[in-house]
Structures are given as C-alpha cells and as structure tokens.
Structure 1
Amino acid sequence: MTTPGPLALLRQTPAAVVVGIGCALTLVGLSALAEALQALVWDDLTDALGIDADSWWWIVLVLTLTGLAVGLVVQLVPGHAGPESATAELVSEPMPLSAVPGLALALVLMLAGGVSLGPENPIMVINASLSVILGLRLVPRIAAPEWMGWSVAATIGAMFGTPVAAALMLTEAQMGDPRIPLWHRLYAPLFAAAAGSATMLLISDSSMRLDVPGYAGFQVGDLGWAVGVALLTALLGLAASYLITPLYRAFQSLRYPVVALTVGGFLLGWLGVLGGRETLFKGLEEMSQVTDHIDDYSVAELSLMVVVKIAALLVAAAAGFRGGRIFPSVFVGVVAGWAVVGVFDSAPVPVVIAAGALGITIAATRSGWLALFLAAVIVPDIELLPLLLVATLVVWLVVAGRHELRADPVAGSGA
C-alpha cells in the first residue's frame, strides 16, 4: 500500500475537523438534554410537589419509571435502541440512521433517571453512525473506516477534554495498515480528536479532576500503595466481570425488554435507597461530591457505596439499559481508594486515589492506556506516572486473559 503524502493528509484535515466538532456537539447536546430532564425530575418537580428527592419511595418510583420508559423505547422504537451495551465493545459498528433517535432517547432517559451507567457506548455508536452516513453522502471519496475512526477519536477527545486519550487508545488499537507510518495513520484522527476536545473546552466547564492533597514527592513505600490499591480495585472489577453474564441471562429470561428494564429499574431504585444518592447516576459528579465532603463519610459508608455501585452497574448493564461501564467503574475505584485512606490514615492520598481508579478501569476495559490516562486526569501530577505505570503492568499480569466486564451474548439472541 502506498503511503499517503502530505497533500493527501492535508486534504483530509477539513473533514476531520468537522467530524470532531460535530461529535462534540452531539455529546454536549444529549448531555444537556439529560441534565435538563434530570433537573426537572429530581429538583423542579420535587420542589413543586413538596417532595424530598431523597425519599426512598421517590427514588424507587423514578428508577422504576425510567426502566419502563427505556424498556418501551427498546421494545417499540425502530432500531430497538441499538446494540445492547452489556455485550458490546466500547466501539461498535455504525447503525442505520433510523435507529439513531431511539438510542439517543434511551441514553437521555437513562442518564436523567439516575441509572448507574455513563454515556460512553451509546455516544460512540451515535457519533459513528452519523459520521459514516453523512460523511459517505457528502464526501464519498473518503471510505467508511476513515469516517468511523475519526468519529471514535473525536468522541474520546470530547468525553475526556483532551486528544491525548484518543492518541493513546488509537495507538493501542493499532488502527490502520501497519505498513503505513504511525503518525500518517494518526494524523486525521488526531485532528478530529483535537477539534472535539477544543469544542468541549469552549462550551463546557466539566472536569474530572478531583480536589485532593498534592503529592509530597516519591517515596519507595508509595510503590507498594500504588500496586496494592490498584490490585484491590482490579479484583473488584474481576469479581464483577464473573457476575455480569449470569445476571444478564437472568434478565434475558424475562423475554421482553420492557419487563426486564422495568424490573431492573425497580432493583436500581432499592439499591439507590441502600447506597444513598451518591450511588445514583454515572458517577463523575458524585465522586467529586464524595471527595469534597470526605470527612462526612465513615469507612463503612464508603465501603457500602462501593458494593452498591458495583451492584447497580451490573444490574443496569444486565437489564438492558444503554450506557457505558467506564465512568461508574471510576467512581468505584475512587471511593474504594478513600475507604483505604480511612483505614490507613498514613496512606498517600493522591497515590491511593489515582491507583484505585487505575486498577478497576484496567479490569473493566482491558485498556492500560485508558486506565493510565484516567488516573492521570483525576489526579494530575506527573510525579505519579512512574508509580501508576508500574501498577498498570502488575495489574495487567493479573487481569490478562480473564473475563472482561462484559456479558457473553445469549445464543440465538442476535446480540
């Protein structure tokens, strides 16, 4: 295969930038809709009715009705809200255009209702579908794999606010023809990722950074803390990975998505009552709230949140809600890290929190680069990188070849 020259790469730049901006706007738009609906249900409506939003019956009611609503979308809307997130990879094949609205609606309802999943999988599919369909119509000389690759990079860049995550994941995935130089292959996708990141930075103020004490500097003992905590949360992720398939099959035995999702929503409501409001929703804002008010929580309360959030993640995915498992997993890792700090007050806080997020992300995604990047974003201190890299390698030895946090499809289900 001939290596594309500089002019060929340059001609791809405008299209890649447009994809990046478009993918970021789609993410922002759907997130804004979900936030508006969330505020309406959990704040405005409860205030108007004089209801305590933390009342057990309101939490159970809202989650059950969310399950019913998403179930009706999955069962009745054309396209059935796309691929099942429980069995899907982070990056799935594009859908027909007619299926995109159903998946978008299921995503918005899920996020607003308090379900313990993030937007990753659905927004990846939505952006890939729109990019491929519109791209082939407008610029047919660019093939579908290029449009899809650019949308994936753009969406990753937009979700995490930096193109670095896209660069790391694309390198790990070894995308494109290996005979072509790496930076030729990364050129257009990274332009898309940079455009997506820049768009997010311009119109959104969201950040994953946690307000934790600064790192005091490398100590040999810190390596033990990083490896130990990363292994602890990785084992939590592995335990969950062996539970998701039997739970998924149990929900599949209910036969009808509307029944499975309503039951799933009901169970999620009771889990929310048990774990508290912090264990609802995707987990990013909630892990910041826990961090900002960490003195208000005992070790027992933090440990309960970890267990409940894992259970809620498993139920939500297995029941058929459309959403990703990365963000709630990061919540589990961060809160588990705080629980460790609560037991061992001499533990280096930034090391433990970053390592907690790192370990479970590797177990959930099998992406060392993504896990390392997320840990570095949550606790951004370059001096932590040697510790986190060693922890990544050790955790990889434990999780490699073992079951992923993804359900095995039921035979004949078409998933």
Structure 2
Amino acid sequence: MTGDESVAAAPEIDAGALIRSKGYRRLLVLAAIIGVVVSLASWALLELFHWVQEWVYKDLPEALGFDSAPVWWPAPVLVLAGVAVAYAVRLPGNGGHEPYLGLGGGVTLPGALPGVLVAAVASVGLGLVLGPEAPLIALGSGLAIFAARATRRDLNQQTISVLAASAAFAALATVFGSPVVGAVILIEAAGLGGALLPLVLLPGLMSAGIGSLVFVGAGKWTGLDNSDYSLAPFSLPSYASPTLSDLAWTVPLAVLAAVGVFAVIELARLSARIVALRPWILTPVAGLVVALLAICFELSTDQSALAVLFSGEDAFSGLLSDAGTLSLGTLLLLVLLKSLAWAISLGSFRGGPTFPALFIGAAAGLMADQLPGAAETPAVAALMAACTVSVLRLPLSAVVITLLLTSRSGAGVAPIVIVAVVVAYITIETLSRAWSPTPAPASADAAS
C-alpha cells in the first residue's frame, strides 16, 4: 500500500448545504447581535483613546498652568507609556501581537483582553506612532468568543472561530468607516478562498453591516458620533485621468516607498530584539527616544511635536490643508523623524501599523509633488498605497483603502494606485527574500 492510499481523503465541504441549514441561519443572527455589541465596544475604546489623548496633551497641561503642552511634555508621558506596556506584555496574551509583524496576530482569547487593552491605551492613547486597528481586531474576536461561550455552550470550535472573525469585521468597520473595507482586509489577511469564503464572509458582512447601524443610525436614532477617528475621504485636487508623466513617476516612487518601509520594519525588528532583553528598562527608554524625536521636530521647525507622535489619522486634514505652507525641509524632517518613531513604536509597543504608513505616504507625496512633471494627487495616492502595501503585504486591501481615501479626486487615481501597489509589493517581497532568504530544503541524499 502506498502512502497516498493510506491517507483518507478529506471530505469536501458542501458550502451550499451549510448555508441553507437552520444552524447557519442561527449563526447569522448571532453574528448580527455580536456585531452590535462589538461595534459599541469598539466605539467605546476609540472614544477612550481620543479622551486620553485630549486629556494628556491638552487638558492636563492647562490644568497645571501651561498655555499648551510644553516642548518637553512628550518625554515623561511616553516613558510612562513604556512602563505600562512593559507591564502589559507580562500579562496573558503578551499585550497583543507585535505590530511590525503585520496587521493581526490571529484570534485573541478573552483572557488576553486585559493585557491587550492596557498596552493599547498606553501605546495609542499616550502618543506612540501606532493605530487602533490591531487592538480593535483583538477586542472584537475576544468579545465574540466570550459571548459565544457564555450564550451557547454547545457551539463547536469552528463556529466560534467564524464568530470571532465576524466580530473583527465589525471592529474594523468602526475605524475605517466602511463594512466593506474591513471585510476585504480580513479576508485577504486570512487567505480565505474557495468553499470557505462565503461561509465566513456572510456572517462577517452581517456582523459589520448590522454593527454599523450603531454609527449610521436607524429610523429616528441618528447613531453614535465617530467623526473624531473614523477615516473620511481626503480633499485633494481633482484628478480626472492620469498622465504619462504621473505614471512614469509612480514606479520609482513606489520602489523608494517600499525600500523605506522595509528599512523601517527591519529597524523595528532590531528594536523588538533589544527591548525584549530588559522590557522594564528598555521599553520606557524606547518611549523616551520617540519623545526626543518629536521634540527635535518641534525645536527644528515651527510645527508641533504632535505631528511626529500618534498614528496620524487625526492629522491628515491639517497636513493636506497646510501643504502649501510647509517647506520641503519641514516635510523631509517630518517623514524621517516620524518614520524613525514609527519603527521604534512597531518594535517596542502595541497597536496597528496601517495609519502611520498612510500618513507618512501622504507627507512623502507632498514632497514628491515638487518633482518636475509630478502632481500632488497622484503622488500622494501612489505613496500612500505603496507604503500601506509594504507594511501590510495585502495588495487588494491597500488598493481599497487608498481608493476610499482619495475617492473625491476622480477616477484617474485608480490606475496610479494599482500600479504603485503592484510595484511596491514586488519590491518589498524581493527585498524580504534577499535579506532573509528561505533556507533550502535538505536534499534526499543528505537526508539519507
């Protein structure tokens, strides 16, 4: 008997039969209920992030007698953030996944949520260069597992996993402002396809769609306000159709963006290895270094240190509206210092990598606008897309996110974004393979 004959063939999944079953319909109802719960919890967490940021950097300095936060203010704040994260990583779940590894680290169990939330509030709330999307995914999956186990003890592990993924759809929709964006990101990140795709997609869309009513409203209820943190399309100059010059610039700009993000990720890996040696000492030191980078920016320009801190989603409108008043030197210093702060944050703290990539790409695009033959809208769109795909390694998600943010500019942006994503993705994959080549498998002769 051969090895192939001794292995029983895995049964094929009849997706249609499962979708038509009563159990699957009950799953959809449960996904909708969990979607509402997770959306409310995600809104509360984002509100907490926003409140902490406002209180620490605005209300507290004023209460202490300052007109505004003094230039040295980020230093003690981010040292305190380092202490909190050093504590959180000792809790179950390690405070969440390490953000330099990508968007998410799989399903988060309920017991890991306290550590995840402590690390997230300390990192995102106190000013590290990280976004809220990864903690939201963890919160959604953890709450879904807790709710599923509490309400239906007879659910199998596969059903619980589907509900956890569905909750993550709803959580991401909170910050991206669209259930579809969250669905695209998570489907691509999970690598779902074939018969499994509709089985997970339908509960996910149900969870995100019904959950979004928390913000959109229904009937006379106007919904909860999430305008302080939900991404909205940018106001960029109209761009009806691409030019040959813009397409020509897109390729080298995307390559440079991929190289830059690759350098950031490698620096983040180094930061993670160093901080892991003595977290209680070196995580606060990492926070102090990020603060010093922000302070350096404020002392070197007439801009606030807060431009270097935080993930950037609150600063997009100001960056783009002030583009005409920012010198090339200011933009260059902003990109360099925020990239360094992002690298240290990715390796030493907890949060999401997406929004800093978008912000740095937008700032770099404003610099590229000054190249001969380049225009602002395609340059910003191309570099946002290239930076995003380089850190997430999710090409379709990078295209969808960038097109959502540039949707007001016109149809001409789409070809630019797609070319930038393809070029940057190939570049980052090539660099990754060349820098860390996969060991060749042992030969048959060596094995014998």
For the pair 1:242 / 2:266, whether they are aligned, the reply is yes
Once structures 1 and 2 are overlaid, which stretch shifts more, 137-146 or 272-281? 137-146
Once structures 1 and 2 are overlaid, which stretch shifts more, 241-250 or 263-272? 241-250
For the pair 1:2 / 2:2, whether they are aligned, the reply is no
Closer/same/farther in 2, CA of residues 48 and 179 from structure 1, 3 Å limit: closer
Partner residue, 1:332: 360
> Matches of residues 77-226 of structure 1 in structure 2 within 5 Å?
78-79=91-92, 81-86=94-99, 88-139=101-152, 140-141=154-155, 143-173=159-189, 178-179=194-195, 182-201=197-216, 202-203=223-224, 204-205=226-227, 206-226=230-250
In the TM superposition, what is the alpha-carbon distance from 1:96 to its structure 2 partner?
4.0
For the pair 1:258 / 2:272, whether they are aligned, the reply is no
Query: Residues of 2 paired with 1:52 and 1:68: CA distance?
Result: 28
Instruction: List per-residue Cα deviations over 1:46-85 (Å, max 9, x = no partner).
Output: 112222545222122222222223333444xx42653342
SS in 1 for 2:46: helix
Closer/same/farther in 2, CA of residues 173 and 32 from structure 1, 3 Å limit: closer
Instruction: List per-residue Cα deviations over 1:217-240 (Å, max 9, x = no partner).
Output: 332333223333332222211121
Instruction: List per-residue Cα deviations over 1:78-137 (Å, max 9, x = no partner).
Output: 426533424654232334433312321221222221111111222212221111122133
Query: Residues of 1 paired with 2:389 and 2:193: CA distance?
Result: 26
SS in 1 for 2:432: coil
Query: Residues of 1 paired with 2:287 and 2:68: CA distance?
Result: 17
Closer/same/farther in 2, CA of residues 131 and 244 from structure 1, 3 Å limit: same
- Runs (5+) with no aligned partner, structure 1: 408-415
Greater C-alpha radius of gyration: 2
Contact 2:109 2:145 in 1 (8 A): no
> Matches of residues 335-354 of structure 1 in structure 2 within 5 Å?
335-341=363-369, 343-344=370-371, 346-354=373-381
Once structures 1 and 2 are overlaid, which stretch shifts more, 148-157 or 326-335? 148-157
TM-score by length of 1: 0.88
In the TM superposition, what is the alpha-carbon distance from 1:375 to its structure 2 partner?
1.0
Closer/same/farther in 2, CA of residues 17 and 220 from structure 1, 3 Å limit: same
The one-letter amino acid paired with 1:195 is I
Q: How many residues are treated as equivalent by the alignment?
A: 398
Contact 2:120 2:351 in 1 (8 A): yes
> Matches of residues 363-402 of structure 1 in structure 2 within 5 Å?
363-380=390-407, 381-402=410-431
SS in 1 for 2:104: coil
SS in 2 for 1:133: helix
Contact 1:357 1:374 in 2 (8 A): no
Instruction: List per-residue Cα deviations over 1:137-190 (Å, max 9, x = no partner).
Output: 31343622211221222222222111222342344356557345x445421111
Query: Residues of 1 paired with 2:134 and 2:330: CA distance?
Result: 30
Query: Residues of 1 paired with 2:130 and 2:286: CA distance?
Result: 13
Contact 2:176 2:182 in 1 (8 A): no
Query: Residues of 2 paired with 1:36 and 1:270: CA distance?
Result: 24
Partner residue, 2:317: 288
Partner residue, 2:327: 298
Partner residue, 1:411: none
Contact 1:226 1:387 in 2 (8 A): yes
Query: Residues of 2 paired with 1:314 and 1:224: CA distance?
Result: 29
Instruction: List per-residue Cα deviations over 1:281-309 (Å, max 9, x = no partner).
Output: 11111232111211221111101111111
Once structures 1 and 2 are overlaid, which stretch shifts more, 139-148 or 121-130? 139-148
SS in 1 for 2:106: coil
Partner residue, 1:322: 350
SS in 2 for 1:285: coil
TM-score by length of 2: 0.82
Closer/same/farther in 2, CA of residues 278 and 30 from structure 1, 3 Å limit: same
- Structure 2 residue corresponding to 1:231, chosen from 255, 261, 267: 255
Contact 2:258 2:425 in 1 (8 A): no
Partner residue, 2:84: 69
- Runs (5+) with no aligned partner, structure 2: 1-12, 217-222, 298-304, 437-448
In the TM superposition, what is the alpha-carbon distance from 1:10 to its structure 2 partner?
3.3
Query: Residues of 2 paired with 1:33 and 1:115: CA distance?
Result: 15
Query: Residues of 2 paired with 1:310 and 1:98: CA distance?
Result: 33
Closer/same/farther in 2, CA of residues 249 and 151 from structure 1, 3 Å limit: same
Once structures 1 and 2 are overlaid, which stretch shifts more, 325-334 or 162-171? 162-171
Contact 1:31 1:108 in 2 (8 A): no
Once structures 1 and 2 are overlaid, which stretch shifts more, 286-295 or 361-370? 286-295
Contact 1:38 1:112 in 2 (8 A): yes
Query: Relative contact order (alpha carbons < 8 A, sep ≥ 6): 1 or 2 greater?
Result: 1
The one-letter amino acid paired with 1:32 is E
The one-letter amino acid paired with 1:337 is G
Closer/same/farther in 2, CA of residues 400 and 74 from structure 1, 3 Å limit: closer
Contact 1:24 1:197 in 2 (8 A): yes
Query: Residues of 2 paired with 1:246 and 1:95: CA distance?
Result: 25
Closer/same/farther in 2, CA of residues 96 and 46 from structure 1, 3 Å limit: same
SS in 2 for 1:382: coil
The one-letter amino acid paired with 1:396 is Y
Contact 2:383 2:420 in 1 (8 A): no
SS in 1 for 2:310: coil
